[in-house]
Amino acid sequence: MKRIEASNVRFIKLGGKGKWEADCIEGSDPCIRLGFRSKQHRESLLGDWDAVWKYWSTTGGKTKGKATEFTNQVKAFYTLDEKTLWITFYKRKLYWCYASKVVTEMPDKTRVRRTLRPWSCLDANGNPLLIDNLSGAFTKVQGFRGTICSVDQETYLLKRLNGEAIQEIEDAVILLGELESVVERLIRCLGWKDFELLSDLFFTRAGWQRISSLGRTQKTIDLELLAPVTGKRALVQVKSQADLESFWKYKADFESMMQYDEMYFIVHSPTPELSEHETESPVFLITGSRLAKLVVSAGLVDWLILRAG
């Protein structure tokens, strides 16, 4: 895809409570649409903004400041060029488009500018622009109470649209990878009791409830867990060292016990053959880097440092 650029960037709210979003974005005639119903379409086309301001300043008891705000939003809709990037949020995604400079008044007195190409919710690399994966400093613009406004985070937006890395994110990813590598090595320093306790801690912080006594000697089971929301039961086997043969043995035992929904086999020092083995739900093998990620995400690094020291 060609690089995404913009002479200006504007956020637009497509109707009160998004009532025009589906039609503007997914309809057969994609467009941006402006309310502000008035008789000032001709004046707006001619650029007579004094007349537009006078109308709004004498309509509905608006203050001079509010009349200026309304006029500026109408002016932006009518005058911003075809290189202006328009953005909005719909179905938890960021959408963007460029719009024709031609403004058409609809029978209901709303105004539209057809998009030059359909709205898109993908970046230049074809990746979806999910709200959950965007900076909160940027997405807060969707809380704007008016219809059209500028966007503070233009540089950030254009980088995201073009699939370019944000330097701070790149730095954080590198440092996180280094931390996880160190954590993986620290885990191997734990004795088996501490390792079993660590496993219990990251499961309970993930929402599981332990329903067996920690450290109780049982054949096949080191931890017995319950997921209170789903009611699923899981057995957990924790090993400092293990090979593929021992994994197969415990997997066979699990499959013979119908009272359990899932099995977790956790090893900090597996044989190469075991570490390369791939499993599928409901059997999960947790070793190496995946184990380190769980410890970091559960906020257990401080605990690990104290126990491994």
Q: Considering the chain, what is the average pLDDT of its residues?
A: 93
- Has residue 112 got a pLDDT over 70? yes
Reported as a pLDDT band with limits 50, 70 and 90, residue 220 is low
The pTM score is 0.73
Task: Summarize pLDDT for 116-129 with one digit per residue, the tens.
Answer: 999 999 999 999 99
- Has residue 217 got a pLDDT over 70? no
> ω into residue 282 within 30 of 0, thus cis?
yes
Q: How many CA atoms lie within 13 A of 133 on its CB side?
A: 13
What pLDDT score does 116 carry?
98
What pLDDT score does 39 carry?
85
Q: Where are the domains of the chain?
A: 9-161, 169-308
Q: In what order do the strands lie in the sheet with 93-97?
A: 93-97, 85-90, 9-12, 148-150
- 36-40, 149-153, 300-304: lowest mean pLDDT where? 36-40
| Structure-block tokens of residue 15 | 């109707």
**CB-CB neighbours of 213 under 10 Å:** 10
Task: Summarize pLDDT for 167-213 with one digit per residue, the tens.
Answer: 888 899 999 999 999 999 999 999 988 999 999 999 999 999 998 76
- Has residue 219 got a pLDDT over 70? no
Contact 176, 138 (CB under 8 A): no
Contact 234, 264 (CB under 8 A): yes
Q: Residue 80 carries which side chain, given as an amino acid letter?
A: L
Distance CA 83, CA 303 (A): 54
Share of the chain above pLDDT 90, in %: 88
What pLDDT score does 213 carry?
63
Contact 100, 113 (CB under 8 A): yes
What pLDDT score does 215 carry?
55
Task: Summarize pLDDT for 56-69 with one digit per residue, the tens.
Answer: 999 877 899 999 99
What pLDDT score does 135 carry?
93
Reported as a pLDDT band with limits 50, 70 and 90, residue 299 is very high
Q: What element of type H or E holds 24?
A: helix 21-26
Domain formed by 169-308, architecture: 3-Layer(aba) Sandwich (3.40)
Angle, helix 49-57 to helix 64-79, in steps of 10 degrees: 140
What pLDDT score does 167 carry?
87
Q: Phi/psi class of residue 30: alpha, beta or left (left: φ > 0; alpha: ψ in -120 to 50)?
A: beta
Using a 10 angstrom Cβ sphere, with 0-12 exposed, 13-18 middle and 19 or more buried, the burial of residue 162 is middle
Could you tell me which residues are beta bridge partners of residue 198?
Answer: none
* Nearest C-alpha neighbor of 236 from the set 226, 225, 248: 225
